[in-house]
Chains A and B, each alone.
Chain A
Amino acid sequence: MDILFLDAPYTGTIELCSETISYLKKKKYKTVGLYASVQFIGKLEIIGTQLKNIGINAVTSHPDRSHVKGQLLGCDNYYNSLNLDENIDAYVYVGDGRFHPLALVYGQKDSKSMKEIICNDPINKRMVLMGIDDILIIIKKYRGSLLKFFTAKTVGILITIKPGQEQFKPALMLEKKYPNKKFYFFIDNVISFDQLENFNFIDVWVNTACPRVSFDDQEKFVKGVINLNDALSVEEILSKESVFNQC
């Protein structure tokens, strides 16, 4: 079966609104990391020029899973996903909604400090700021789940079988790393949240599907859930100086 992806680009004008420009000028930022979701990516150069005109250098990168430079996916929520080498003062995100720019907030949870995310919404012509307050409650609970994993005896690993998501082999690394825990491997098309409680012998869940599930759908996991890569480095995460551990 052949597959055709269509970006469905935004049909309106894509530019920084006056509120965003005023805010950036006031903050006196020198360099910003510039990203957009795929519907808005085609006009990123225009945004770059607008930034240049107010004395701000815009840098961007080609994140791991994206198809084009500057494109931000919701799953780019780990610090190394972006592949951004330059030091920046803040992020500027172009697009609507919260899902994509929240990836930039989550992506900084293991850093020493958090840079603010300035979201410029071309549809509603407004600016929204994002930072640690947007995820504070979620990452406090997430920290609890990490601690729970640390002491758990039985762990359920959730694997979804869609080709873009399936992470069975990487999940097997958990058995080697934690020989004293018993891991059960669960597979599904998409995570069936309403089935989780039927497996009452599980102490905590490890998610290997979309890495946003463990944050955005956290309340659906009564026993708690953490992401695979965090499970593989739980001691390091809990012991480092980070935004995450200051919350």
Chain B
Amino acid sequence: MSLYDTELQKALSKIKESKAKTVCIQLPDGMKPYAKDIEEKITEETGTRVLIWLGSNFGACDIPLGLNKMGVDLLISWGHNVFHKKIDGW
């Protein structure tokens, strides 16, 4: 059994609901080995093209830029929840 629940059903529901054609999956370093299973499951269940973010995922403040230029409709980011940025600095 995995240490962390990848909550794949939530991911699949969101992909189907949003009718996303291209999805980017972003994982923190400790979960990057899960990318194989996640990619295969999403592809098998939805037929969506999956792009795996190679780079950093320090937190929900660390969202990849420019994905829309690649036609990415949905980013699924694991291991963090919504980040509330302070607009007046730290």
Question: Which of B11, B55, B58, B85 gathers most chain A CB within 10 Å?
Answer: B58
Q: Report the interface size for chain B: residues with CB under 8 A from the other chain.
A: 42
A interface residues, tally (CB under 8 Å): 43
CB of B3 to closest CB in A, whole Å: 6
- A3 interface neighbour in B2, B10, B75, B79, Cβ under 8 Å: B75
Once the chains are docked, how many angstroms separate the CA of A108 from the CA of B33? 35
Picked from A11, A66, A71, A229, the residue with its CB within 8 Å of the CB of B90 is A229
Name the residue in B11, B56, B85, B89 with the highest tally of chain A Cβ atoms < 10 Å from its Cβ.
Answer: B89
A3 and B63 in contact, given A66-B84, A67-B84, A164-B85 (Cβ under 8 angstroms):
yes
Task: Pick from A6, A68, A78, A164: contact of B78, CB below 8 A.
Answer: A6
Q: From B88, which residue of chain A is reached at the shortest CB distance?
A: A170
Q: Roughly how many angstroms separate A2 CA and B63 CA in the complex, as a whole number?
A: 12
Known: A164-B60, A189-B65, A190-B56. A67 touches B4 (CB 8 A): no
Smallest CB separation, A209 vs chain B (Å): 9
**CB-CB contacts below 8 Å: B46-86 with A:** 55-56, 58-63, 65, 67-68, 72-86
Report the minimal beta-carbon distance from B65 to chain A, rounded to whole angstroms.
6
A161 cross-chain contacts in B, Cβ below 8 A: 65
Choose among B2, B65, B90 the residue with the greatest number of A CB atoms under 10 Å from its CB. Answer: B90
Known pairs A6-B7, A162-B61, A228-B89; list 13 more (Cβ under 8 Å): A2-B20, A4-B75, A5-B82, A6-B11, A8-B5, A8-B7, A9-B5, A65-B83, A75-B61, A162-B62, A164-B60, A164-B85, A165-B61
Q: Which residues of B contact A (CB under 8 A)?
A: 1-7, 10-11, 14, 18, 20, 31, 55-56, 58-63, 65, 67-68, 72-86, 88-90
Chain A contact residues, CB within 8 Å of chain B: 1-12, 38-39, 64-68, 71, 73-75, 78, 81, 123, 161-165, 167, 170-171, 173, 189-190, 208, 210-211, 227-229
